[in-house]
Chains A and B, each alone.
Chain A
Amino acid sequence: MRLHILAGCRDLLRPRLLPGEQVAGLIGPAIRPATAFWLSSRCGRFYHDFLLDEASDRRIEIFAASLRDSFGTRFEPLLVLPELFAAATGAISRENGTENGTRRRALDMLLELWGHHPAEQIRLHALVLPEGVDADGSWAAAGELLAPRALSRLDGLRISLAASGLDPDRMKIQAIEVRRDQPEFELLLRNAIACQLTPRVHARLAEEGLAAVEIAELQIAVLGVLEGWRRSGIAFAPALGAGDLDRLAGHVMKRLIEDVPANA
């Protein structure tokens, strides 16, 4: 069995989640998300965070058994674990301890999964945007949104897994560029822009004597504004540079502050 793992990039895959079926469709026609509806009706419908929960049940062992039963020569399973790319180099400043802990847990979970059900081959993937979205190189610097950085991060992941005892020859890496004409492109681009804008909005809030209680909540609020623009028929320019993102951050912050009801 060949196991596919989508490891990133997290800034494309969150905060708005992409259904597992759509993610699988981006990777290949014979790939299906590995669901765990026996645990809950949401487990595996989008991503596989439930495998990282510190639960006292035997979910990883049982998930491995379900992979063995439900995948063979016709279809190949996909796990979506954006936490494998989690690192302090992202657009948002993160607390190192939490980041490293989440990534470590994701790696440990994979090793445990392998222990129960060794896959013959492992394909590590990352979704990336076309380089054309990056008008001035600021996106390339901001994280793994484009192919070169994503491939380098995937290679690092392969080295980490090999260091934990997995045969490196059984692992292959691939960056999958999501084209503009693909239906998933818009959602992924909005996520990426929300990630780019959030630290800028955060900084501007500070200039105004305000602060976000939670960065994650601010990111969702920023995404909400971008989705509202889309519903109003406003799309983004084909390429955005640092200056464009700064200006957009100003507009978003204005909307965020003005949209708060007086009696909220």
Chain B
Amino acid sequence: MSRLDVLMPHFRDPEGLALSLASVAGQSWTGDIRIIIVDDGSPGADFRAVEALAAAQELPVVLERNTVNRGRPYTRNRLLDAIDSPYVAWLDAGDVWYPAKIEKQFEQFSRLRLAGEDITRYWITCHYDWQWTGRKPRLIHQDTGERQVRELMLGRKLRAYLWTLLGTAESFRAAGRFDERLPRLQDLDYFLRFVLGGGTLTVPEKTRALCLYHKSDLGRNAREIRRCNRLIRDKYNPHLRIYGPAFLRTIRYNADMLAARFAGNNGERLKQLYYMGSAVADHPKRAVGAMRHHLLRAGK
């Protein structure tokens, strides 16, 4: 039996999958790895390319397929069902782990054991490079300090990305299933459940970026992301209210601005203006501050 299952959802991106698989094969960690890929109903040619990639791997690969496209939460639930190793890490097709990622994260588990901690209560995340298409990578720090629910919702110092994580299989099972009503932000929902259930996010000591996230808004649906954000606010309302009305206004503002960014990057100008207007209504003071910041930057 392997010690680590790497869970990889895939949909219509064999080239991205090839990059991701190469980064798993290049890990310096010496333990036994099994890769599980669930293809989410990609067209025949793409799936055949995935089959060829799977067959070419030196590491053991399990390949499953949804007969029709069911969306990422459903696919991730299938991946959860396929876990058979004591440890689990996630990687989305197209994203890349740097060679030391898993080794450094396992070292962090040993540090936690040395400190007498129960490792099933921890997910090890990591700093990462964030690369917009056509730009240079930018280092993003994961700040795993206090008030992790609040920071996850704000999404500035701590972000909910599954592909940064290493955890025990037990901890992922305990966090439950991915919410299939959330085609977007199901990671955030999953992270919130883990932390609210008593879990803690931590990062390996003295490390820089351990993975690379290829970021693009193209084709991302602004209305969908806004709806998912609202659903998450509704689900966790009692937990979020304790941070006060200013916090609630800020997360509504952030959600509208995110939807505006998606709309803008997809050329939907009217929708972009609508969401920006909604954001201004949510939090006028913050909107004025942001506008001043943009004007100053433009002036420079």
Q: Which chain A residues have a beta carbon within 8 Å of chain B's beta carbons?
A: 32, 36-39, 57-59, 62, 65-66, 68-75, 77
Contacts and interface: CB of A to CB of B under 8 A. Distances in A.
B30 A71 contact: yes
A57 B106 contact: no
Contacts, number: 47
Nearest to B87: A69
Nearest to B205: A38
A75 B110 contact: no
Given A72-B2, A72-B3, A65 B110 contact: yes
Given A69-B87, A72-B2, A62 B110 contact: yes
B32 interface: yes
A62 B114 CA distance: 7
29 contacts: A36-B110, A37-B107, A38-B107, A38-B110, A38-B111, A38-B114, A39-B114, A62-B110, A65-B110, A66-B110, A68-B3, A69-B31, A69-B87, A69-B106, A69-B109, A70-B29, A70-B30, A70-B31, A70-B103, A71-B30, A71-B31, A72-B2, A72-B32, A73-B32, A74-B30, A74-B31, A74-B32, A74-B33, A77-B30
Closest 4 CB pairs of A and B: A72-B32, A38-B110, A75-B30, A38-B107
Nearest to A39: B114
A75 B2 CA distance: 13
Contacts of B106: 66, 69-70
B85 to A, nearest CB: 10
A165 B33 CA distance: 33
**What secondary structure prevails in chain A residues at the interface with B?**
loop
B215 interface: no
B108 interface: yes
B293 interface: no
Contacts of A74: 30-33
B113 interface: yes
Interface string B51-95: 000000000000000000000000000000000001100000000
A59 B86 CA distance: 21
Contacts of B108: 38
Instruction: Name which of A32, A58, A62, A71 has the most chain B CB atoms within 10 A of its CB.
Output: A62
Contacts of A37: 107
A74 B87 CA distance: 17
A77 to B, nearest CB: 8
Given A59-B114, A69-B87, A74-B30, 12 more contacts: A36-B110, A58-B114, A62-B110, A62-B114, A66-B110, A68-B3, A69-B3, A69-B31, A70-B30, A72-B3, A74-B32, A77-B30
A72 B110 contact: no
